[in-house]
């Protein structure tokens, strides 16, 4: 029986994967590094310590990983304050499910970005627990961030439903033992193998209902 719902943020509530891509590519190229589709896809789902180290080690960015992280987050915050890219239907979906379930959020974004996005969108009041993958040992596709969200909600992972869009996120939630509703990201779609792990796939947040979550 589903007792709680845990949302991903980037690609589910925010059309932000493109923003991350633009910001990181601009920064990497400014610093003389390499940025391509392989680099972009490899970082999807990584925690901030992981992707900043990855840019240093594999994209030839000369700065220290902590400096890389701090500068990218600074630029992301500026973009969010200028325009928060909420996905159509995000507010309605959160309100609809919050009327029935306690909600959690399990995101690869930094804590500052999670808090800013939820505050600017007005959605913070609906979430009983929010977890950044920088606050756990390993990022997605490992299950750590979802397991921590379930712990904070005081609900067994088997009784949680996760809402995800990406290959790493779907694998993470499934590895945690959760029911998974996939809303494939149209720009960066999950691979067929990952999508097959989802319990149900819907086309948009408008289709994310209590019945879909609970079925």
Neighbours of 132 (CB within 10 A): 23
For 156-195, letters b (16+ CB in 10 Å) and e give: ebeebbbbbbbbbbbbbbbbbbbbbbbbbbeebebeeebe
Helical ranges in 31-165 per DSSP H: 37-43, 48-58, 65-82, 90-98, 111-121, 144-153
- Active site (catalytic) residues: 8, 10
Helices first, then strands: H and E counts in the chain: 10, 6
Distance CA 213, CA 200 (A): 9
Q: Which of 120, 72, 89, 112 is nearest to 7 (CA)?
A: 89
């Amino acid at each position: 029986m589903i007792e709680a719902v845990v949302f991903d943020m980037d690609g589910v509530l925010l059309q932000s994967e493109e923003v991350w891509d633009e910001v990181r590519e601009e920064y990497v190229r400014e610093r003389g590094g390499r940025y391509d589709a392989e680099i972009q896809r490899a970082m999807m789902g990584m925690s901030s310590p992981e992707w900043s180290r990855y840019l240093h080690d594999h994209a030839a960015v000369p700065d220290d990983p902590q400096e890389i992280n701090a500068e990218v987050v600074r630029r992301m915050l500026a973009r969010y304050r200028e325009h928060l890219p909420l996905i159509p239907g995000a507010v309605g979906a959160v309100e609809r499910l919050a009327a029935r379930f306690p909600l959690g959020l399990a995101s690869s974004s930094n804590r500052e970005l999670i808090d800013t996005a939820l505050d600017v969108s007005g959605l913070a009041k609906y979430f009983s627990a929010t977890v950044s993958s920088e606050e756990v040992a390993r990022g997605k596709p490992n299950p750590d961030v979802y397991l921590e969200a379930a712990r904070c909600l005081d609900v067994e992972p088997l009784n949680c439903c996760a809402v995800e869009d990406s290959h790493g996120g779907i694998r993470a939630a499934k590895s945690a033992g959760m029911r998974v509703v996939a809303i494939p990201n149209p720009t960066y779609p999950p691979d067929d193998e990952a999508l097959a792990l989802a319990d149900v796939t819907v086309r948009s947040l408008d289709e994310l209902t209590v019945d879909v979550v609970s079925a």
